[in-house]
Structure 1
Amino acid sequence: MPAASVPPASKLHCSTLTNITLPPKAIGLPTNGVHVDSATLIPASAAGNEAGDYCRITGSIKALKSATPDIRFDLNLPRNWNGRALQLGGGGYNGVVVSGLGTMPFSPEHAPLAQGYATFGDDSGHVGNSSLAVFGLIDEAVINFGYAHLKKTHDAALVLIRLAYGRGPDKMYFAGGSTGGREGYTVMQRYPDDYDGVIADSPALNFTGVRLVGIKIGEAEYATPGGYVPPTLLERVYERSMAICDRLDGAADGIVSDVPACRKREAEIIDALRCRSAASAGAGKTSRSARSNGSPAIAPQTEQEDKCLTNTQLATLFALRDGLTLPYHLAWDVTGYHGYNVFQGTRLTGGLGLGRDASREQSPTFAANGYLFTQGDGYLRYFVTQDAAYDSLTFDVLHPGRYQSQLVELSETIGAMNTDLSRYIARGGKVITLQGLADEVISPNQTIAYRDALVARFGQASVDSFMRLYMVPGYQHGSGVFVPSVDLLTALDDWVTHGVAPETLTATDISAATNGRTRPLCRYPLFPRYTGKGDMNRASSFICSST
């Protein structure tokens, strides 16, 4: 291995890093060492390169067992380094190397590499981002996906950064969304000494919980006669919610901002959606017995099937709204999963919604059977039962029997629900979290509940000293009627390096239909309320309000 006195990147012949190896002792968790597969100097003149000269490194972290895939990683070292490093998280089940070359989520105009950050990411230790998640059959790969890849890649990148620049970074940051958001909370909980700041957006904190909710929703739709809710009725739910709740924030702008006020009108929304016929009432009363004796599904009234919901269909939506309460404890005393804002402006008809098919596919897909059930099905078969032929609709979520211990173990390996951030707080670490109030994949109420648990443990003042939570009205999981663009990395860096804590931020909408309008990003529990005057497309016409 080359000596640590390698000159700065401005004088470094990048190719000299190719084929070097790092010994296992260089990594804080057990591995079989690290191999740098390539190191190439990308000139500023290269097509599409807006980052100036940088050294692009690809490598692999060797697994302990031959059956376990290596962790593949990319590292980018800019010639004009700002002294900071940024590790980027993945998405879904990962399986694709995060290159670190592009822009950050929610900040499409600001590529960290072009700003002088050394950037890096990995594939979490397997190839292929599939809902089937077959790597769940390999224990070492599951541990890598859950948390170990983060530490292993961090340590490998840190050694290479020191070799390239002759010193380590002044600040180390992490940023990611969804799975990457869970990874952000994971590094704060497990490796608090390694990071100075984290951006963890739409975080899949309670990973096992959300997968179990998916099974519960699948059971309601596909194992309960009459429980399937077609896209036309899901759109009806959205339209009725908007009709009643859009103006509660003072602005008819297609966004439900005052979610608490909308929740108070929920009974009115449901009453307007419910079918009135005796047949509908009968469907609600008989669905359980019909399921037990194998009777065919009871369909809604033909003449109203695109206009109202039966009791059984509403029960499916209530299952999503109410979340999950378990009679046993997952890791960190977790006893369930918080429900979704089903009747508060969440659209469930998109690619990540509840699905378009009235019957379950043999191999569910997002489009056919919905994101939550499809992901829950794969998790149950490959991670929990480790039986690819297992029928997830026969699984008893509340009484998992011999699989309970596996669920608990997985919830610790992959989940990020530990509220003990005392070491991270003591070191002065910061975290910014942004999430949509209309998120249909990761419940916004689960994220809020975790924040509330931190307040209960550390007190409001302590939480305010290191955490900012921004809940965005109208934003779903990567889509929605308002899709925010905001420079969270600069906000985090100013907080960490200069002590300038972010307060109200301004987000620009990049949704195609309303591109360019702005809104204040309000610290939770505040939300944007229209002042009653001024352009509704400008943030200056809104205030952050609690009522």
Structure 2
Amino acid sequence: MSLAPFYPKDTTNHVSFCRIAATLKPSGDSNIKVEVWMPVTGWNGKMMGAGDFGWAGHIMYAGLLVALEHGYAAVSTDTGHDESLDNGAFALDHPDKMIDYGYRAAHNMTVYAKQVIQAFYGRPAAHAYWFGCSLGGQMGMTEIQRFPEDYDGAIIGAPANPIVDLNFYQIWPSLLIAQNPARQLGRDKANMLAAAVMAKCDALDGAKDGEIENPLACDFDPATLLCKGADDGKCLTAPQLEFVQMLYAGPVDSKGRKRHTGAAKGTEASFGGYTADSAMGVATALFKYMIFQNPNWDWKTLNIDHDIDYGNAVLKTVNVADNPDLKPFFDRGGKLLMYHGWSDGNSPLTNIEYLDEVKKTVGVEQTEDSMRLFAIPAMGHCSGGSGCDTFDKLAVLDAWKETGKAPEKIIASKIQNGKVIRTHPICAWPMVASYQGSGDLNAAANFACVKK
């Protein structure tokens, strides 16, 4: 059974359902596996499309189970290839499989599922919602941009987007160390840096709780940690300081173009994992198999001045999904609920910039009626971390769609050993939670959403 961090770990099924498995072949080289699950009783009249993660290659059974437990009929796809292949190796010399993975599988499974659901129940689904994080989030962005009629609402978590720029950014820190090994921090210095940032910015929201509520308000200067003399392990050498400053700033090419947002304050512990020995495998595979079509490509040859633009040109018709013109989706009444953890190495800063671009393109009023971004303090990639990372995303989106009232605040929980140990308000950006000065720091009632 394929699991993902954005679905609950309990995958016990309590619902009787009809399971339809099919293989779709929109091209001669296509082999798209799809499963549609439909509750026999208690159907709520709606449908959910379950996004995948990583390089996909499997049916997202955990997502289908979540949908069933909520009363939804649901559909998932392996995106047209088998996960046993090394990351993106399926794309090598298979342009149709690239297209299937990029957008065609998700769209075709949606069309197919709607037909099956109507045949099974004798009526169409009243609403269709997408739910995915990471790759699943990127798949959802592709869906609402290319096929705005497919879904009436989308839950998009930490999308792997913009796909080429992000994957370059995930390789880039290792590239910097390969160019100058003295830049490498190691785990101990990364943790020392993280502790210094937390000490500076933890209480900015009024609560000293070991979390940074709004990293954009944190003005920590890493230069304060520069070694005054010999390196005693508790300071940053000049090359290490340069490395940290570059990570915060983000990659800039020789023309002065910023190619991706930098690291958010509060993610410093992850800096210690970067080495010159290896780079993130998911990211290197994108360039190796999908962009350059060369299994022998060496990530250390990555060129910021050429390879990002080249990659975007290659994948523009495949899975680039950074178009801020969401008017076709919004005009149909589509609702976009985005969420992203501040402790994710794939920073929410990109989605904050995207939200601003949508407002400029579509207009502030329609965007505020149709789109919400929730940046979650101390949550990792899709879930995890010390922050409150659990809330009923489907229920929030469905209530928004049914009532027309956009969510301004979500009460999220931290669950440990099956028990809620803490609650916290997650505010619609640009609002952030602020402690009201008294009461339990672990209770959401003692915080209010305020303008950042």
**TM-score (normalizing by structure 1):** 0.75
Matched, 1:209 2:172: no
User: What does residue range 145-224 of structure 1 map to in structure 2 within 5 Å?
Assistant: 145-224=101-180
Report if the CA contact (8 A) 2:64-2:74 is conserved.
Answer: no
Matched, 1:84 2:46: yes
The equivalences for 1:318-333 within 5 A come to 318-326=245-253
3-state SS in 1 of match to 2:149: helix
**Contact 2:137 2:156 survives alignment (8 Å):** yes
Alpha-carbon distance between aligned partners in 2 of 1:171 and 1:471, rounded to the nearest angstrom: 26
The alignment status of 1:119 with 2:23, answered yes or no, reads no
Q: Which letter does structure 2 place at the counterpart of 1:439?
A: D
Q: Are the equivalent residues in 1 in contact too, given 2:64–2:75 (CA < 8 A)? A: no
Matched, 1:50 2:14: yes
Query: CA 1:324–1:542 in structure 2 vs 1: closer, same or farther (change >3 Å)?
Result: same
- 2:376 is matched with 472
Q: Is the 8 Å Cα contact of residues 215 and 376 (structure 1) preserved in structure 2?
A: yes
Match of 2:242 in 1: 315
- Give 5+ residue unaligned stretches, structure 1: 1-46, 104-110, 278-300
> Residue 450 and residue 359 in structure 1: after superposition, are their counterparts in 2 closer, same or farther (change >3 A)?
closer
Q: Which residue does 2:444 correspond to in 1?
A: 539
Q: Match of 2:288? A: 381
Write out per-residue CA displacement over residues 119-145 of structure 1, whole angstroms, 9 at most, x where no aligned residue. 111111111177742123121121111
Shift of 1:190: 0.6
Query: Displacement of 1:468 after TM fit?
Result: 1.1
1:98 aligns with 2:60: yes
Aligned to 1:272: 224
1:86 aligned counterpart, secondary structure: strand
Is there any run of 5+ residues in structure 2 with no aligned partner, and where?
Answer: 1-10
> Cα offset for 1:405?
3.7
Q: Partners of 1:540 and 1:272 in 2: how far apart?
A: 37
Task: Indicate the SS of the match to 1:508.
Answer: strand
User: Residues 225-374 of structure 1: matches in 2 within 5 Å?
Assistant: 225-262=181-218, 264=219, 266-267=220-221, 270-277=222-229, 304=232, 306-326=233-253, 336-341=259-264, 344-349=265-270, 355=273, 358-360=275-277, 364=278, 369=279, 373-374=280-281
- Alignment match, 1:128: 83
1:530, 1:59 → 2: CA distance? 52
How far 1:101 moved relative to its partner? 5.3
Instruction: State whether residues 93 and 129 of structure 1, in contact with CA within 8 Å, keep that contact through their aligned partners in structure 2.
Output: no
SS of structure 1 residue aligned to 2:421: coil
Aligned positions, number: 439
Distance (whole Å) between structure 2 residues aligned to residue 320 and residue 412 of structure 1:
30
Give the AA of the match of 2:34. F
Secondary structure, counterpart of 1:337 in structure 2: coil
Contact 2:133 2:157 in 1 (8 A): yes
- Which residue identity is paired with 2:109? T
CA contact (8 A) 2:433 2:450 kept: yes
The match for 1:17 is: none
Structure 1 stretches of at least 4 aligned residues deviating more than 3 Å after TM superposition: 100-103, 129-132, 325-329, 403-407, 511-515
Between 185-194 and 503-512, report the one with greater CA deviation.
503-512
CA RMSD of aligned residues (A): 2.5
- Quick check: 2:291–2:314 contact (8 Å CA) kept in 1? no
Distance 1:224 1:198, change over 3 A: same
Taking the TM superposition and a 5 Å limit, the aligned residue runs for 1:339-488 are: 339-341=262-264, 344-349=265-270, 355=273, 358-360=275-277, 364=278, 369=279, 373-400=280-307, 404-440=309-345, 442-477=346-381, 478-488=383-393
CA distance 1:245–1:483, shift in 2 (3 Å): same
Partner of 2:4: none
Cα offset, 1:347, TM superposition: 4.6
Query: 2:67 is paired with a residue of what secondary structure?
Result: coil
Q: SS of 1:128's equivalent?
A: coil
3-state SS of 2:269 partner: coil
User: Does the aligned pair in 2 maintain the 1:346–1:476 contact within 8 Å?
Assistant: no
8 A contact 2:131–2:137 mirrored in 1:
yes
**Residue 226 of structure 1: SS of its match in structure 2?**
helix
Q: CA 1:205 to 1:502, structure 2 compared with 1: closer, same or farther past 3 Å?
A: same
Residue 434 (structure 1) shift: 1.0
Tell me if structure 2 keeps the 8 A contact 1:84–1:117.
yes
CA distance in 2, matches of 1:162, 1:434: 31
**Once the two structures are superposed, what CA deviation does each residue of 1:277-324 show, in whole Å capped at 9, x if it has no partner?**
3xxxxxxxxxxxxxxxxxxxxxxx6x52x3222222233333322223
Q: Is the 8 A contact 2:198 2:210 kept in 1?
A: yes
Q: After superposition, give the CA deviation of every residue in 1:440-459 in whole Å (9 maximum; x if it has no partner).
A: 1x221101000000111122
Is 1:139 aligned with 2:103?
no
Give the share of equivalent positions with the same residue, in percent: 29
Per-residue deviation at 1:503?
1.9
Name the aligned partner's letter for residue 399 of structure 2. D
Rg comparison, structure with higher value: 1
1:413: how far off? 2.0
Establish whether residue 495 from structure 1 lines up as the match of residue 422 from structure 2. Answer: no
Q: 1:62 aligns with which of 25, 28, 45?
A: 25
Shift of 1:99: 2.0
Q: Secondary structure at the match of 2:68?
A: coil
> 2:151 corresponds to which letter in structure 1?
Y
1:71 to 16, 32, 35: 32
Residues 76, 101 of structure 1: 8 Å contact kept: no
What is the CA distance between 1:509 and its match in structure 2? Answer: 1.4
Q: Is the alpha carbon distance of 1:48 and 1:452 closer, same or farther for their aligned partners in structure 2, counting shifts above 3 Å?
A: closer
